[in-house]
Amino acid sequence: MAGEATKAIDQAELWGGGRSPFSVSYGKMMMWFFLISDALTFGGFLSALAFARHHLEDAWPVTENIFFHFPLTHAHLPLLYVALMTFILIISSVTMVLAVEAGHRMDRKGVVKWMAFTVLGGAIFVGSQAWEWMTFIAGPDGLLSTSADNASLTSNPYGPQLYADFFFFITGFHGTHVLSGVVINLIVLIRSMQGWYDERGHYEMVEKVGLYWHFIDLVWVFVFTFFYLI
């Protein structure tokens, strides 16, 4: 019963005090700390959105009347493209968790396959968001010009200025996260292909970037509800 370890752990991997708090490695704990601080940022954004739209409720535009475009068609399809983007992000989250699972079995081929799908899904999402921004900026006339009816941080043809500001800040901040997530996933994909993690003896790096990637999906779930649906 005395404090004896079941398994000798390399001194280099133990925390300073000779223990590992919560039984997690240092890197994973720090990833969770980072995610908490990032979640506070997004929590700030979304609560500010709630504050603004709650007292501007009457003037606040109806989302279905703005986001009804779909690439390559002129049909009126409210919310469907955003729903598709949401679905793509959820699926890329699933391929990520499958990569983590493959990593626990030390299955390099599995990790490479699922990480590749994750990178692809993330890239499609970033591209979709760029298209979404372009459509939103163009305004109701659909023309990207320098005229005043384009949406920007200082003008908004759809309604209150705050609506455009929140759109750009929230989806922009989220999109930046997706972009950096794609880059980080790509690095981990290349390193898995090179066999770095087999050499190291564990695939925990996949799990750590996985936490970040799932967090991005988590944020989008809330953005989808609070910005687009409600």
Return the range that interacts with another protein (CB under 8 A); candidates 21-29, 119-127, 128-136, 139-147: 21-29
Taking Cα atoms as reference points, which of 68, 192, 51, 23 lies closest to residue 118?
192
Site track for another protein across 170-199, x = CB under 8 A: ------------------------------
Q: Which is nearer to another protein, 48 or 138 (CB)?
A: 48
Return the range that interacts with another protein (CB under 8 A); candidates 119-127, 156-164, 170-178, 201-209: 201-209
Query: Can residue 124 be called a binding residue for another protein (CB under 8 A)?
Result: no
The counts of H helices and E strands in the chain are 6, 0
Q: Which is nearer to another protein, 88 or 126 (CB)?
A: 88
Distance of closest approach, residue 147 Cβ to another protein, in angstroms: 27
The continuous run of DSSP H or E covering 128 comes out as helix 108-138
For another protein, which residue of 38, 70, 94, 131 counts as binding (CB under 8 A)? 94
Give the dihedral of Cα atoms 13, 18, 23, 25; nearest 10 deg: -30
Q: Name the token pair of 178.
A: 């997706």
Distance CA 192, CA 170 (A): 33
CA distances in angstroms from 20 to 27, 29, 103, listed in the order given: 11, 10, 22
Site track for another protein across 25-64, x = CB under 8 A: x--x---x---x--xx--xx--xx-xxx-xx-xx---xxx
Nearest 5°: CA angle at 224, between 222 and 227? 95
Distance of closest approach, residue 144 Cβ to another protein, in angstroms: 26
Query: Can residue 112 be called a binding residue for another protein (CB under 8 A)?
Result: no
Q: Which is nearer to another protein, 20 or 152 (CB)?
A: 20
Q: Which is nearer to another protein, 29 or 152 (CB)?
A: 29
Total residues interacting with another protein, rule: CB under 8 A: 71
Judged by CB under 8 A, the chain residues 71 through 90 that form the site for another protein are 78-80, 83, 86-87, 90
Q: Which is nearer to another protein, 55 or 74 (CB)?
A: 55
**DSSP per position, 141-210:** TT---SSTTS--SS--TTS-HHHHHHHHHHHHHHHHHHHHHHHHHHHHHHHHHTTHHHHHT--HHHHHHH
Query: Can residue 230 be called a binding residue for another protein (CB under 8 A)?
Result: yes
Give the dihedral of Cα atoms 76, 80, 81, 86; nearest 10 deg: 170
Query: Can residue 207 be called a binding residue for another protein (CB under 8 A)?
Result: yes
What are φ and ψ of residue 220, in 5° steps?
-65, -35
Query: Can residue 109 be called a binding residue for another protein (CB under 8 A)?
Result: no
Query: Can residue 145 be called a binding residue for another protein (CB under 8 A)?
Result: no
